[in-house]
């Protein structure tokens, strides 16, 4: 069995995330040329996405040339025992509209699951990180979630919505069922930040469907190593699978409301 040095992998992830973040910081707040769309008109990809991913790939190729990479814009490459999951700009719409809520998300995994993950917020200079066996950290310091009520009616719950309007309509029904049962709902528009902010206690819980592996791998590891329960949301009522993260006292009640009957 191959033995992996989690701390070494985390160092590579941080270095790669920093390289991507520099590209984003240099471009944020400026007009973006050549913006294109992917799955639909509300699903853009910008020159900043591509530049950040290229910078990340350069670091990974230099530090870990034998590893595989699965990145949002450039797809899959390589076939090593370790695979890097890269979202160079989580929150592209926010970035393009000048909304200061976006991040670089990088994780690496092997056949047994995620080994290390980083969510780097360039504007706040916040680097959330975790390894499979280590504690979650913020800028190198252990995360400490504040003490909160274990009642769902006092919880702030984050979520996100699909690009497709018909899917959003179904998701709206779920939110409508949830709103009377929780303190409030938040929609930031960056799944990796949602999970990281749950890990540090800015949100109490988070759920979202229709995500890709690069959206959630790093954030889910950070949330779970911070003590949250992270589960997969099953396919339900034509909805794609998703992820849900919450304290153990809230997870079952919240999941029952989120999974459409």
Q: What are the tens digits of pLDDT across the range 211-233?
A: 999 999 999 999 999 999 999 99
- Write out the DSSP string of 157-177: EEE---SSHHHHHHHHHHHHH
Residue that is last in its domain, among 79, 112, 142: 142
Q: In Å, how far are 11, 127, 161, 162, 226 from 15, measured between CA atoms?
A: 6, 11, 31, 31, 22
Asked whether 236 and 223 are in contact (CB, 8 A), the reply is: no
pLDDT, tens digit, 9 for 90 and up, residues 102-112: 999 999 999 99
**Within this chain, do residues 96 and 164 fall inside the same structural domain, yes or no?**
no
Q: Is 18 helix (H, G, I), strand (E, B) or coil?
A: helix
More confident call, 19 vs 36:
19
Kindly report the CATH number assigned to the domain that includes residue 161.
3.40.190.80
What is the span of the domain harbouring residue 220? 152-258
Domain contains 246? yes
**Within this chain, do residues 16 and 136 fall inside the same structural domain, yes or no?**
yes
Burial of 166 (0-12, 13-18, 19+ CB in 10 A): exposed
pLDDT, tens digit, 9 for 90 and up, residues 123-170: 999 999 999 999 999 999 999 888 887 899 999 999 998 877 878 888
Residues 6+ apart with CB under 8 A from 233: 207, 209, 239, 241, 242, 243, 244, 255, 258, 259
Q: What is the domain count for the chain?
A: 2
**Within this chain, do residues 89 and 129 fall inside the same structural domain, yes or no?**
yes
**Within this chain, do residues 63 and 111 fall inside the same structural domain, yes or no?**
yes
Domain contains 1? no
Domain contains 147? no
What pLDDT does residue 38 have?
58
Q: Is 63 helix (H, G, I), strand (E, B) or coil?
A: helix
Determine the Cα–Cα distance for residues 153 and 257; give it in Å rounded to an integer. Answer: 12
More confident call, 3 vs 133:
133
Domain contains 129? yes
Beta bridge partners of 118: 106, 129
**Within this chain, do residues 112 and 177 fall inside the same structural domain, yes or no?**
no
Does the pLDDT value for residue 39 go beyond 70?
no
**Within this chain, do residues 161 and 137 fall inside the same structural domain, yes or no?**
no
**Within this chain, do residues 103 and 14 fall inside the same structural domain, yes or no?**
yes
Q: Give the position of tokens 């400490």.
A: 144
Asked whether 141 and 34 are in contact (CB, 8 A), the reply is: no
pLDDT, tens digit, 9 for 90 and up, residues 74-119: 888 888 899 999 999 999 999 999 999 999 999 999 999 999 999 9
**Within this chain, do residues 133 and 15 fall inside the same structural domain, yes or no?**
yes
**Within this chain, do residues 87 and 161 fall inside the same structural domain, yes or no?**
no
Kindly report the CATH number assigned to the domain that includes residue 53.
3.30.540.10
Closest CA to 75 of 211, 212, 240: 212
């Amino acid at each position: 069995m191959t033995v992996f040095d989690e701390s070494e992998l985390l160092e590579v992830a941080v270095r790669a995330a920093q390289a991507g973040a520099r590209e984003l910081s240099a471009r944020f707040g400026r007009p973006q040329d050549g913006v294109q769309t992917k799955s639909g008109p509300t699903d853009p990809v910008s020159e900043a996405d591509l530049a950040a991913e290229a910078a990340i790939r350069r670091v990974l190729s230099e530090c870990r040339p034998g590893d595989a990479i699965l990145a949002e814009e450039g797809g899959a490459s390589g076939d090593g025992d370790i695979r890097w999951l890269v979202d160079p700009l989580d929150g592209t719409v926010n970035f393009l509209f000048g909304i200061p809520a976006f991040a670089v998300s990088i994780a690496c995994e092997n056949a047994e699951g995620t080994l290390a993950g980083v969510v780097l917020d360039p504007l706040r200079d916040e680097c959330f990180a975790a390894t499979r066996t280590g504690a979650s950290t913020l800028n190198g310091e252990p995360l400490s979630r504040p003490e909160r009520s274990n009642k769902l009616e006092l919880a702030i719950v984050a979520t996100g919505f699909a690009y497709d309007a018909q899917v959003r309509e179904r998701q709206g029904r779920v939110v409508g069922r949830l709103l009377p049962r929780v303190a409030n709902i938040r929609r930031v528009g960056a799944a990796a930040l949602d999970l990281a902010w749950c890990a540090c206690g800015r949100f109490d819980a988070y759920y979202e469907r229709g995500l890709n592996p690069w959206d959630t791998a790093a954030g889910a590891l950070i949330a779970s190593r911070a003590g949250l329960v992270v589960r997969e949301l099953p396919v339900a009522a034509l909805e794609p699978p998703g992820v849900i993260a919450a304290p153990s006292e809230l997870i079952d009640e919240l999941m029952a409301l989120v999974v459409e009957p």
